[in-house]
Amino acid sequence: MLNELFSRIGKSITPSGGGVVSAVFSRGIAPSFPEAGTILETLTGQEYPESEGGGGVEVNSVIYPNQTADVYSKADGSGGSYLDWASAFNIAYKANGGTIVSEFGTHNVTIGTTSYSVGSYQTTYYHDGVGGLYAYSDNYYDSYGTSIPVSPAETGLTSYVDINGVYYANGTYDLEYYADGSGSYYSSAVNFGYTLYGSFIVSQNNQTEVPSASGNYFDNGTTTEFYHDGYGYWYSSVVGSYYNSGDYITNYAGTDYYWDGSGGYYS
């Protein structure tokens, strides 16, 4: 009914109750858009996408645009618009010092087979004004002495004492790790539990070189016994007695040698 009314012009309608109302209806008019390709505006200093023909720089396998350009915004003929990069002009490299991207990471150390963080860093990349780039890094290290929570904890480790080039167990200790303030670490042995004072370690026969500078060593009748001192070291005591004077030792280069009774010798 309404469609029929809107298609008529100048028809009179008589409402109930009498009288005449004159109504005029007009047909709708289709919208009008700028023709396709019409320049709507000029945008200046726009980032020039690599996908549209602009240049780029690579940072860790990612390409970032390094140029700007002026570009026309043009009508698409149906009420929309697009950027006509094919006709871009005033193309230039991005200015020196412009930020490209910042990356963040951690400084790690390996203890055993596990990696632990001892700080962080931020690396920022910048345009150099001629199509390239440069970078600056800021490091943030954990302060000296910051504990590194090594897992599993290294506790109850065996400590050793050196006696004439041979190592003997002398107790236990724990090992703790700390950041050194420069991106690495150090360890510290703590909680020592040393073997009790007076505990026997080993006994060794004492020898004398006969003759001097010959390289031939012979037991001289005495023994040195070694004991734990309770503090991680040792003390010793010589026991036994030297071979009697006149006891035969050896013949060297045609000369016989004998003990002198006090650990020395004669020929």
- The pair of structure tokens assigned to 64 is 């970032």
Whole-number percent of the chain with pLDDT over 90: 88
Q: For residue 51, is pLDDT > 60? A: yes
Q: For residue 4, what are the CA distances in angstroms to 7, 21, 30?
A: 5, 17, 20
Confidence category of residue 23, pLDDT binned at 50, 70, 90: very low
- Burial of 127 (C-beta count, 10 Å sphere; 0-12/13-18/19+): buried
Which residue from 230, 232, 236 is spatially nearest to 158, judged by alpha carbons?
Answer: 232
- Burial of 153 (C-beta count, 10 Å sphere; 0-12/13-18/19+): exposed
Q: How many CB atoms lie within 10 A of CB 48?
A: 24
Confidence category of residue 27, pLDDT binned at 50, 70, 90: low
Which residue from 224, 212, 206 is spatially nearest to 262, judged by alpha carbons?
Answer: 206
Rounded CA gap, 48 and 42, in Å? 14
Confidence category of residue 47, pLDDT binned at 50, 70, 90: very high
